[in-house]
Amino acid sequence: MAFRDLFSMVTPERLADLADKLTRNEIASPNDMRTLVGWKPSKAKGADELRNRNLNQADPQPKPDQGMDVTQEFNRVKQNKGE
């Protein structure tokens, strides 16, 4: 037995809740949900990615610390104490 329009009897509120849960838990991509409601898939970058959009993405390469050089600061403090 197959269903042509599986979500035809679902209210918009329930469909939105379902789409949120499926995309947040990385079960369906945003394009999967768009085709489910009959919309064309998006060409946006990441529209076919399974990821939780509520979380920040980690940088693939961590950036070096932009703070001050610890050695220079240590020497400066050491020099000021001597004066």
47-83 pLDDT per residue, tens: 888 887 777 766 666 566 556 567 777 787 778 876 5
- Residue 29 falls within a domain, yes or no? yes
pLDDT on residue 72: 75
Both tokens assigned to 53: 């959009």
Q: What does the alpha-carbon distance between residue 61 and residue 42 come to, in Å, rounded to a whole number?
A: 28
Answer whether residue 17 is part of any domain.
yes
Number of domains in the chain: 1
The answer to whether residues 76 and 68 touch, using CB atoms and an 8 Å cutoff, is no
Residue 40 lies in a domain: yes
Domain presence at residue 83: no
Between CA 11 and CA 15 the distance in angstroms is 6
Tell me the pTM.
0.56
Instruction: Establish if 64 belongs to a structural domain.
Output: no
Nearest CA to 19 out of 8, 5, 30, 7 is that of: 30
pLDDT-derived band at 40 (thresholds 50, 70, 90) equals very high
